[in-house]
Structure 1
Amino acid sequence: MASARYAAQQGALVRVTDMKSPEVLAPSVQALAGLPIEFILGEHREEDFRWAEIVIRNPGVPWTSPYIRLAQEHGARIEMEIALFLLACPGRVIGITGTRGKTTTASLIYEILRASGAHTLIGGNVAGVETLSLLPQITPETLVVLELSSWQLEGLAPHKISPSVAVMTNIYPDHLNTYTGMEDYAEAKANIFRHQKPDDVAVFNYDNPWTRRFGDEAPGQTWFTSLERGGSFARNSTQVDPFIFIETPLAGRHNLENILLATTTARLLGVSDDVIAEAVRRFQGVPHRLEDVREVGGVRYINDSASTSPVAGQVALEAFDAPIVLVTGGNTKHLPLEAWPERIVQRCRDVILLAGSGTDELVPAIQQEVQRQGASDPVRGIFTDYQQALAAAVQLARPGDVFLFSPGFTSFGMFLNEFDRGDKFVAYVRAL
């Protein structure tokens, strides 16, 4: 929608084409009412791709799309919204990417910068924000925090542009259904720093092998953060600035990694330690990411619906010491399960699963771990109806337990997306 609005406002002749039906897209079409935009909905027509001089590709559309190929064959420029934004943005851009933690890190950087009094905006891969629509508010003094996915970062490569401040949280296997392998996926992420200038700034998590390697390759002024080494340090320096901002309501070691990245970035941008410490203390995290929904009958209900990969499911389990009733499962992205089944058997008293292709991979792996550890089987059932699944799990929960909703897989089929899945879970818990 933002791309269509922006292109029309710039005076382009705009056609929007989407495979979804006019009924599903009616609210979006209504929001663009009054602009000279033509809509071709429920189909893609080859003639539109032969007609176009510029095609703005949505992040979910792969480069291999036959329609993208057709447009390229007819001389069209293929663009992405985030590249159009960076080309036109007069402010200083702080870009954040990574497999896990980018939303939390970006949100915390935004809150710290706002608390410092700087004119700050947030956009990119953020639900409900039209990034291009932010442009009229941006001056050269504005700090613009952008959460950037691998797909969005692909759009920067043709222009050889990167944000002037780049932050990389970690790289784990993900989206391997759309990339040829880990190198391909990681290289898309690397666009965040590849085209920086020598006086630009980059911050990397030293404790992750991929981001450590990228930190050695970055052309700008580079800093590392490391929980293992207790702070942050400049590349090629032995002096570690100690990690001091640890008074936080957020659970889990991974959130300490996110906080260390955010606070180091804020320090490099000149924010005082007092402002940083107060912002960290106040920061409650973001929805759907180990979100503490409420306590009912002595049970803490945690919404971790943004957990769409096994490594995210594993990290969620490692964030709690109390007995866990886990609701998990969904559809696979064909990612390695790693140590997740082992952690499930070690840490969960009861496990309820949502049916799906990922669950079909996970259950045998849990049974293998039960055998290997000589432990009791925590699996209590597999459900095709999520309300029945939650009801069964609620019956199993006791005072002092953590009720953890952390699917570890995608939600396709049962929910619109992970946010819809999390919203439904939160609504269920609020009604208990």
Structure 2
Amino acid sequence: MQEEKRGNCAMDLRGKRVLVMGLGLQGSGMAAARYAAQQGAQVRVTDMKSPEILAPSVKALAGLPIEFILGQHRDEDFIWAEMVIRNPGVPRTSRYLLLAQEHGARIEMEIGLFFLACPGRIIGVTGTRGKTTTASLLYEILRASGAPTMLGGNVAGVETLSLLPQITRETQVVLELSSWQLEGLEPHQISPAVAVMTNIYPDHLNTYSGMEEYAEAKANIFRHQTSEGLAIFNYDNPWTRRFGEEAPGQTWFGSLERGGSFARGSQELEPFLFYDTPLPGRHNRENILLATTTARRLGVRDEVIAETVRRFNGIPHRLHEFRERHGVRFINDSASTTPVAGQVALEAFNSPILLFAGGNTKHLPLELWPQRIVERCRDVVLLAGSGTDELVPAIQAEADKQEKNNPVRGVFTDFRQALETALELARPGDVFLFSPGFTSFGMFLNEFDRGDQFVAAIQAL
């Protein structure tokens, strides 16, 4: 059913009063505003951030008939709207959205509008960890095969709706999809033709009522596929293994523990042959296995896959080694916003680690992160925040348990001072790992701004 819907029923916005809730700085809000204006809608944009912060986004939309209401949300704008396009970060329970619905407005998201209008084959990738790397690698493999291919979705700086004019029926569209974006597919009961799910770990539990609700939001990536759909799951993660048994389409599993991939219900294993990669860590081998399994199902030749994996150096802000100086390797893992991400980052290296971490909590369990910190880190420098307040006593307790010295060398409210302290501790042969494990808000605009500031400071040395 979703195949008939997709690409043939772009919503008619001509003359409609459309309110974009959340302009943001990463592309989604800008794309929604641009698209609605180009479709002939009356467009207003509202965002709680100040005009000064949002100036780059406003400038990018210069010349379009768009009204901006910044630094506040006004009830009158939500009562005025016939449609509200909400930013993925806006909770469904927002009183402003409820007010708009009470007055008859439809609530949409950029990604839902994109699915309805996109004529190409959509390959969606989701998961708590690894979705960006998996989607980006899959995009590079498909592009190397010669197929017309585009990358969008939850990718920083990409306006996904703005890709539509370049997409034909022959285009393969790889979309990284967050749980919030996938909520935008549920009202239309639509899923991508190809779905890839990397893993499910605790995340965003400050937004969702619990793991079940969070995981179910992710499950929209395959729930509405037909029997002709294709879905690929990580067999080694309990959540994604369970979802793989429920998927309505053709289903494959990738398993590092078993050493390859296999169709659901089959005992025949397709070996994992692509270990020749510059990417560190077991988690990246999982990402590669899922991307290569998907590429094989889509008919890409093994030699194209292998060559692409060999030259794929990863993604900025995700365990990205960007400099070596005086024998110290600098790693930017600023997209690490959960304790499990911090834990996985530590497990990716065998060299002595100087950890630069800390930030604000999403109320997630610390898991094995404090244990790995004491086991693997010689020195730890922390940025202040509510998450750091949880982590510091946990590290002390773990140090006592392991009968080791506490590696924490200080908690800092000033980023530059923290960085200078960490640099003084670095020695030749160290991995200088910036993997915060918590969110960035308060000290930075977002995790990308945080990573950019870190990289700029190190490059300036």
State the TM-score, normalizing by the size of structure 2: 0.93
Q: CA deviation at 1:235?
A: 0.4
CA–CA distance in structure 2, aligned partners of residues 78 and 166 of structure 1: 24
Deviates more, 1:115-124 or 1:27-36: 27-36
Q: Which residue is 2:443 aligned to? A: 414
Structure 1: runs of 5 or more not aligned: none
- What amino acid maps onto 2:235 in structure 1? Y
Deviates more, 1:24-33 or 1:314-323: 24-33
SS in 1 for 2:433: strand
Q: Which residue is 1:300 aligned to? A: 329
Q: Which residue is 1:362 aligned to? A: 391
- What amino acid maps onto 2:338 in structure 1? S
- What amino acid maps onto 1:150 in structure 2? S
| Moved >4 Å (runs of 4+) | none
Equivalent positions of 1:52-201 (< 5 A) are 52-201=81-230
Q: Which residue is 2:293 aligned to? A: 264
CA–CA distance in structure 2, aligned partners of residues 423 and 29 of structure 1: 21
Q: CA deviation at 1:381?
A: 1.0
Quick one: which of 204, 218, 226 aligns to 2:247? Answer: 218
Q: CA deviation at 1:42?
A: 2.1
- What amino acid maps onto 1:22 in structure 2? P
SS in 2 for 1:24: coil
Quick one: which of 7, 31, 37 aligns to 1:2? Answer: 31
Deviates more, 1:414-423 or 1:163-172: 414-423
1:55/1:78 contact within 8 Å kept: yes
Q: CA deviation at 1:167?
A: 0.3
Q: CA deviation at 1:20?
A: 2.1
SS in 2 for 1:141: coil
Q: Which residue is 2:45 aligned to? A: 16
- What amino acid maps onto 1:251 in structure 2? P
Task: Let me know the Cα RMSD of the aligned residues.
Answer: 0.9
Quick one: which of 327, 334, 341 aligns to 1:312? Answer: 341
SS in 1 for 2:54: helix
SS in 1 for 2:367: coil
Quick one: which of 399, 412, 424 aligns to 2:453? Answer: 424
Q: Deviations over 1:163-200 (max 9, x none)?
A: 00000000000000010000010000000000001011
- State percent identity of aligned pairs: 80
Q: CA deviation at 1:28?
A: 2.1
CA–CA distance in structure 1, aligned partners of residues 176 and 280 of structure 2: 21
Q: Which residue is 1:35 aligned to? A: 64
Q: CA deviation at 1:376?
A: 1.6
1:204/1:212 contact within 8 Å kept: yes
Q: Which residue is 1:249 aligned to? A: 278
- What amino acid maps onto 2:251 in structure 1? T
Q: Deviations over 1:339-358 (max 9, x none)?
A: 10000000011111111111
Q: CA deviation at 1:314?
A: 0.3
- What amino acid maps onto 2:184 in structure 1? G
CA–CA distance in structure 2, aligned partners of residues 418 and 29 of structure 1: 21
CA–CA distance in structure 2, aligned partners of residues 21 and 430 of structure 1: 30
Q: Which residue is 2:14 aligned to? A: none
CA–CA distance in structure 2, aligned partners of residues 209 and 390 of structure 1: 38
Structure 2: runs of 5 or more not aligned: 1-29
In structure 2, relative to structure 1, the CA distance for the partners of 1:256 and 1:10 (3 Å cut) is same
Q: Which residue is 1:346 aligned to? A: 375
Q: CA deviation at 1:14?
A: 1.3
Q: Deviations over 1:66-91 (max 9, x none)?
A: 11001111111100000000000000
CA–CA distance in structure 2, aligned partners of residues 290 and 318 of structure 1: 11
- What amino acid maps onto 1:136 in structure 2? P
Q: CA deviation at 1:399?
A: 1.2
Q: How many residues align?
A: 432
CA–CA distance in structure 1, aligned partners of residues 192 and 397 of structure 2: 46
SS in 1 for 2:182: helix
